[in-house]
Every structure is written in structure tokens, then in C-alpha cells.
């Protein structure tokens, strides 16, 4: 039997990695890239070197779905210390003493937390990946340049105080994309009048990718990665699903729209379709993601996967 070399293999899927502390998200992606070449890889949401936990890495054509992964809700467990501040808003920066925290009570802390739930305006940290005139804010901050970062709307769905041992406390946060947990601690400390910074952060979930199902980065090897890759169908599992005939699958891969209603089932209920719909062939393979045009009652391909 003719053996297939690794260079001829095509990787496509998703890795749910438990990122360790002390490495960057890019370090994990680079580790994966070395194993899946010539396929590419990318992560769906940066974790700082201080942080650990769920890092979703998309491989091959699944990288086309990164934006969909990033839309999922995130859950974090963050630890903070009262009475200190830093230029990075966490313990890795230049530390400065804050105000007196000794009088802060659990009830007072919980009362302030209510101001951070819902859609709020949040200013990113100076050391962040936000673009400022074509440059990353952290690159400017490292050169000693202070910039005025605009506040941005973020969604915080829940914020629970899970531990309070002054001056330290712990928060369980469920939030939307673009939220900086460091900024929550910074702003909370400012409201309390004593300052606060983040000392530890663990991401527990991104969408339905949870820490309980994550793999350790040192377990990802040339021998194991094929079995660790999860189907890209998981990423679109929350979307309505349209089964395609062979002819429709070919049309979608050519960028052509198809009828939203399924002729095989006479299903003409367009109300079941959201703005986006997963498109799946008769073998259960993801063909793409379509967008409904209500005027024409057709699904227009927006993301396309080639035939496997």
C-alpha cells in the first residue's frame, strides 16, 4: 500500500486548547502550524501571556469561520487585588500603590458590580491590541507614548463575586467579544477609590468550547493532532441548517445562490432562517454559510468550503 506523506494530508477542523501561562496565543498557533503545514491556522481571540484557558484554534478551511467563533459568549474567572494599580492594569506592569482598601466590604463590592452588568462603555487598557492610527496600542505604550483610547460598548451578561478575601477578590464573568477583564478591575477599583488590578485570569469558555473539553498544548503532536481536530460543523451548530442536494452543493461552491426553501421536503417556512444559515451536503460535510435574501427568498453563500 502506498503511504501518504504528511505533506499530502489536508487538515481542517478546530482545536480547543487549554493555553498555559507564560506563552502567547501566537506561540500556540505557531506550534499548530508546524504540524499542519501547508494548511494554515489561526486563533479566535487572544489571551495575554498571563492568562490561561480556552484558546480556540481553527485549522485549514475552518479559519474561514474564526469570526463566527469570536461572536460566542466568553466566560472568565479573574482574580484581582485592591489597593494597587499598574500601567497594564494587571500584575505584569509597573505597580503603583493605590488608596486604602481596608474599609471595603463585600456588600460594597457587590453593590458596585451591578454598575458593570449590561451594555456598558469600556475603555481598553493602554497595553491592548486596539489599533491607533495604524499601530497597536501596546506598541505605542511600550515606547512610552500615552494615547487617548476611546471607550467602546461591550456586553457583560453576568458578573458574580465568587471570592472575597481582602485585598483579593475573584469574579466570574460572562461577556461578549471585545471585553477587557483587566478594565473591569481597573474601573471597579476607581469607583471604590482604592484602585485595583488583575492578578490572574482563566478563560473557561468561548461559545460552546469549554475548559472541561480542552486539550493541553503539550499533548498536541504530529501523531495526535488528527484525532484532536473537531469538526467545523461545531462552529455553526447554533445556526439553522439547510441540507443541500448534490446540484445545490456544486452551485454553492461556485458562489451561486440557492432557494431558501428545501424542494426535497417542501419546507417553505422562511421564518426558521436567521440572517445566516449553515449549508451542509448529503454526506454531512459543511459546504458553507449562506445569508438569506428575504426579497428573493434565496440563500447567498458568504463563506464557502471546497469539496473535501
Reply yes or no on whether 48 is catalytic: yes
Do 53 and 181 contact (CB within 8 A), yes or no? no
Distance between the two ends of the chain, CA-based, in angstroms?
22
Three-state secondary structure of the chain: CCCCCHHHCCCCEEEEEEECCCCCHHHHHHHHHHHHCCCCEEECCCCCCCCEEEEEEEEHHHHHHHHHHHCCCEEEEEEEEECEEECCCECCCCEEECCCCCCCCHHHHHHHHHHHCEEEEECCCCCCCCEECCEEHHHHHHCCCCCCCCCEEEEEEEEEEEEEECCEEEEEEEECCCCCHHHHHHHHHHHHCCCEEEEEEEEEEECCEEHHHCEEHHHCCCCCHHHHCECHHHCCCCCCEEECCHHHHHHHHCCCCEECCECCCCECCHHHCCCEEEEECCCCCEEEEEEEECCCCEEEEEEECCCC
Give the separation between CA 6 and CA 230, rounded to whole angstroms.
19
Give the separation between CA 110 and CA 99, rounded to whole angstroms.
19
Quick check: bond before 167 cis, omega within 30?
Answer: yes
Active-site annotation holder among 18, 27, 48, 139: 48
Write out the three cell numbers for 286. Answer: 459543511
Longest dimension (CA), the chain: 75
What residues are labeled active site? 48
Amino acid at each position: 500500500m502506498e503511504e501518504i506523506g504528511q505533506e499530502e494530508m489536508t487538515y481542517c477542523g478546530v482545536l480547543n486548547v487549554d493555553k498555559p501561562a507564560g506563552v502567547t496565543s501566537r506561540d500556540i498557533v505557531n506550534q499548530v502550524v508546524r504540524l499542519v503545514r501547508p494548511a494554515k491556522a489561526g486563533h479566535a481571540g487572544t489571551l495575554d501571556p498571563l492568562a490561561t484557558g480556552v484558546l480556540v484554534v481553527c485549522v485549514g478551511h475552518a479559519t474561514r469561520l474564526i469570526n463566527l467563533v469570536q461572536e460566542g459568549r466568553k466566560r472568565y474567572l479573574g482574580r484581582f487585588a485592591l489597593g494597587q494599580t499598574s500601567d497594564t492594569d494587571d500584575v505584569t506592569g509597573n505597580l503603583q500603590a493605590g488608596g486604602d482598601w481596608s474599609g471595603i466590604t463585600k456588600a460594597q463590592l457587590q453593590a458596585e458590580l451591578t454598575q458593570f452588568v449590561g451594555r456598558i462603555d469600556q475603555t481598553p487598557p493602554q497595553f491592548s491590541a486596539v489599533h491607533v492610527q495604524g499601530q497597536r496600542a501596546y506598541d505605542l505604550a511600550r515606547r512610552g507614548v500615552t494615547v487617548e483610547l476611546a471607550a467602546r460598548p461591550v456586553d457583560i451578561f453576568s458578573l458574580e463575586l465568587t471570592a472575597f478575601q481582602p485585598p483579593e477578590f475573584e469574579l466570574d464573568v460572562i461577556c461578549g467579544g471585545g471585553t477587557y477583564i483587566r478594565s473591569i478591575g481597573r474601573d471597579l477599583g476607581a469607583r471604590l477609590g482604592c484602585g485595583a488590578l488583575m492578578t490572574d485570569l482563566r478563560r473557561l469558555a468561548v461559545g460552546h468550547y469549554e475548559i472541561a473539553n480542552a486539550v493541553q498544548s503539550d499533548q498536541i503532536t504530529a501523531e495526535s493532532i488528527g484525532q484532536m481536530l473537531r469538526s467545523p460543523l461545531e462552529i455553526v451548530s447554533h445556526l439553522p441548517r439547510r441540507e443541500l442536494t448534490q446540484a445545490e452543493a456544486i452551485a454553492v461552491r461556485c458562489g451561486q445562490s440557492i432557494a431558501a426553501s428545501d424542494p426535497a421536503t417542501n419546507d417553505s417556512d422562511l421564518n426558521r432562517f436567521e440572517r445566516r444559515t449553515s449549508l451542509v451536503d448529503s454526506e454531512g460535510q459543511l459546504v458553507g454559510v449562506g445569508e438569506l435574501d428575504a426579497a428573493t427568498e434565496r440563500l447567498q453563500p458568504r463563506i464557502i468550503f471546497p469539496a473535501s
